């Protein structure tokens, strides 16, 4: 059976279900690499999981296709026990730790899956890099802009492989949309509309005892000391500025990365933002709804706002396109993309093949597989540490604009604010870390 016939038969279902055009699927098949082969048992690297909540366990399960989960670490014993149960294989249970630094001391751990809350990303990423472990680190890369610079330095100084967990970089629809935009398929790019699910309003919360087996002080880490209530931790940590950035850095970390990929520049030069729905007193601290406009040096306006539609699957585009996803607007039309579909003003914008000399973006169809391929080859993966940092900076800039209420100018090369309000905004590039959970903790 010929390759062309195979893809043609598949394409009837694939194009109907995904909106991906036949020419793109054919090109993907032509460029496909041979299936990954595990050469021998020793070809499977040892994996250490740090952060055993739902996302961390999911990442480790995905990674177990390519390596062996030998150790798990979490400050919550309940999470540790769940991870041990999940990753015990052939009667052999992974080793358990409450302090990630002990896990990093193991010589048989080659790769770290890092799935902690955002405020712990940086210290663990740097600690793993110093221990010469390759890292798959969840998004957003960091809690602040300054942390990103430090993570880049640690990764490059220690020559480790780092993949940021912005999985949409390995999504065919997103890559196709970005390639079409980069190659002028919708004319001159004018605007990028990014819609992210709204956050949560809640509070005030009841103070309750810290659960047994949960090291709350370690969980707080660099964040300020705060009384415990269940809403601070685990699933709802992301709605507190002490630990994350709310909807700005939740889905925003994914969609702003794709927006920047299509725009093709390091970062915006201007930012203005406003809170739409403010937090409740003595409750979650991140606004559940916001709007932001970012100006790029090439004149593109990026508008980021929340939508009450929290599902990227199955919904239809309304007249404003206001649901979870990204809409690229050009002088000759628009392209809409999310995890479920890709659409355009005119279907022909998608159906006409790009020329042979068209701009091509880095291709990956398996984010975790791409990471492990690079663990072998020692090449940069599709979402390198610099990529993760530059895209995370978009969220950090929006948060700084929201917190200061200022209209800001940004130099993406020097990574500093300029002009009016710069002195105040530059104070937010880094945050004070609570001792002992500062950079000396991983020295």
Same domain, 27 and 176: no
Nearest to 193 by CA among 336, 341, 400, 388: 336
Is 58 within the bounds of a domain? no
Crossing angle between the packed helical segments 145-158 and 118-130, to the nearest 10 degrees: 20
Q: What is the pLDDT of residue 43?
A: 83
Q: Note the pLDDT tens digit of each residue in 391-414.
A: 999 999 999 999 999 999 999 999
Instruction: State both tokens at 379.
Output: 């090449």
Crossing angle between the packed helical segments 172-182 and 22-31, to the nearest 10 degrees: 110
Is 181 within the bounds of a domain? yes
Residues 6+ apart with CB under 8 A from 431: 143, 144, 222
Residues 6+ apart with CB under 8 A from 8: 22
Q: What is the pLDDT of residue 304?
A: 98
Crossing angle between the packed helical segments 251-263 and 385-404, to the nearest 10 degrees: 110
**Partners of residue 189 on adjacent β-strands:** 330
**Residue numbers of the domain that contains 21:** 1-31
Is 141 within the bounds of a domain? no
Phi first, then psi: give them for residue 16, nearest 5 degrees: -65, -40
User: Which regions in the chain score pLDDT beneath 50?
Assistant: 1-16, 310-321
Is 158 within the bounds of a domain? no
Q: How many alpha carbons lie under 13 Å from residue 16 in its C-beta half-sphere?
A: 6
Q: What is the pLDDT of residue 32?
A: 77
Nearest to 71 by CA among 80, 62, 63, 79: 80
Cβ burial 64-102 (10 Å sphere, 16+ → b, else e): bebbbbbbbbbbbbebbebbbebbeeeeeebbbbeebbe
Q: What is the pLDDT of residue 323?
A: 80
Distance of CA 133 to the CA centre of its chain: 20
What pTM does this model have? 0.92
Q: CB–CB of 370/382 below 8 Å?
A: yes
Number of domains in the chain: 2
3-class SS string, the chain: CCHHHHHHHHHHHHHHHHCCCHHHHHHHHHHCCCCCCCCCHHHCCEEEEECCCHHHHHHHHHHCCCCEEEEEECCEHHHHHHHHHHHCECCECCEEECCHHHHHCCCCCCEEEECCCHHHHHHHHHHHHHCCCEEEECCCCCCCHHHHHHHHHHHHHHCCCEEECCHHHHCHHHHHHHHHHHCCCCCCEEEEEEEEECCCCCCCCCCCCCCCCECHHHHHCCCCCCCCCHHHCHHHHHHCCCCCCHHHCCHHHHHHHHHHHHHCCCCCCEEEEEEEECCCCCCCCCCCEEEEEEECCCCCEEEEEEECCCCCCCCCCCCCCCCCEEEEEECCEEEEECCCCEEECCCHHHHCCCCCCCCCCCCCCCHHHHHHHHHHHCCCCCCCHHHHHHHHHHHHHHHHHHHHCCCEEEECCCCEEECCCHHHHHCCCCCCCCCCCCHHHHC
CB atoms closer than 10 angstroms to residue 302? 22
CATH number at residue 422: 3.30.360.10
Nearest to 11 by CA among 22, 3, 2: 22
Q: What is the pLDDT of residue 41?
A: 53
Distance of CA 92 to the CA centre of its chain: 32
Cβ burial 114-124 (10 Å sphere, 16+ → b, else e): bbbbbbbbbbb
Separation CA 206–CA 163 (nearest Å): 38
Is 383 within the bounds of a domain? no
Radius of gyration for the alpha carbons in the chain, expressed in angstroms and rounded:
22
3-class SS string, 57-92: HHHHHHHCCCCEEEEEECCEHHHHHHHHHHHCECCE
Is 202 within the bounds of a domain? yes
Is 411 within the bounds of a domain? yes
Query: What's the angle, vertex CA 47, arms to CA 80 and CA 214, rounded to 5?
Result: 20
Q: What is the pLDDT of residue 36?
A: 63
Is 55 within the bounds of a domain? no
Q: What is the pLDDT of residue 8?
A: 42
Q: What is the pLDDT of residue 340?
A: 93
Q: CB–CB of 325/335 below 8 Å?
A: no
């Amino acid at each position: 059976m010929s390759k062309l016939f195979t893809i043609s038969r598949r394409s009837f279902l694939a194009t109907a279900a995904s909106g991906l055009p036949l020419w793109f699927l054919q090109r993907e098949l032509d460029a496909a690499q041979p299936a990954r082969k595990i050469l021998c048992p020793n070809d499977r690297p040892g994996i250490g999981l740090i952060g055993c909540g739902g996302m961390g366990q999911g990442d480790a399960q995905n990674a177990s296709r390519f390596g062996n989960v030998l150790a798990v670490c979490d400050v919550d014993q309940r999470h540790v026990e769940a991870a041990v149960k999940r990753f015990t294989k052939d009667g052999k249970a992974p080793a358990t730790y409450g302090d990630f630094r002990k896990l990093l001391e193991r010589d048989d751990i080659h790769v770290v899956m890092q799935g902690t809350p955002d405020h712990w990303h940086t210290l663990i990423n740097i600690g793993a890099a110093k221990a010469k472990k390759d890292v798959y680190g969840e998004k957003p890369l960091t809690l602040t802009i300054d942390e990103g610079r430090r993570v880049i330095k640690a990764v490059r100084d220690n020559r480790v492989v780092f993949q940021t967990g912005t999985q949409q970089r390995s999504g065919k629809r997103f890559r196709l949309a970005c390639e079409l935009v980069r190659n002028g398929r919708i004319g001159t790019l004018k605007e990028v509309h990014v819609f992210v699910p709204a956050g949560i309003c809640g509070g005030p919360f009841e103070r309750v005892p810290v659960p047994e087996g949960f090291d709350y002080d370690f969980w707080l880490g660099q964040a300020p000391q705060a009384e415990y209530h269940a809403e601070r931790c685990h699933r709802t940590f992301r709605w507190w500025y002490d630990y994350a950035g709310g909807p700005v850095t939740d889905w925003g970390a994914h969609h702003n990365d794709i927006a920047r990929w299509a725009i093709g520049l390091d970062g915006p030069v201007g930012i203005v933002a406003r809170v739409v729905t403010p937090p409740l007193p003595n409750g979650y601290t991140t606004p559940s709804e916001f709007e932001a406009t970012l100006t790029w040096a090439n004149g593109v306006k990026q508008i980021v706002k929340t939508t009450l539609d929290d599902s990227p699957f199955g919904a239809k585009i309304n007249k404003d396109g206001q649901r979870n996803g990204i809409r690229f607007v050009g002088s000759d039309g628009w392209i809409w993309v999310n995890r479920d579909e890709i659409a355009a003003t005119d279907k022909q914008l998608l159906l006409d093949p790009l020329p042979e000399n068209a701009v091509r973006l880095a291709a990956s169809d398996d984010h975790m597989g791409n990471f492990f391929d690079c663990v072998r080859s020692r090449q940069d993966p599709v979402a390198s540490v610099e990529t993760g940092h530059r895209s995370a900076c978009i969220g950090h800039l929006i948060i700084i604009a929201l917190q200061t209420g200022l209209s800001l100018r940004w130099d993406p090369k020097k990574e500093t604010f300029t002009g009016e309000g710069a002195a105040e905004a530059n104070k937010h590039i880094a945050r004070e870390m609570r001792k002992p959970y500062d950079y000396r903790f991983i020295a």
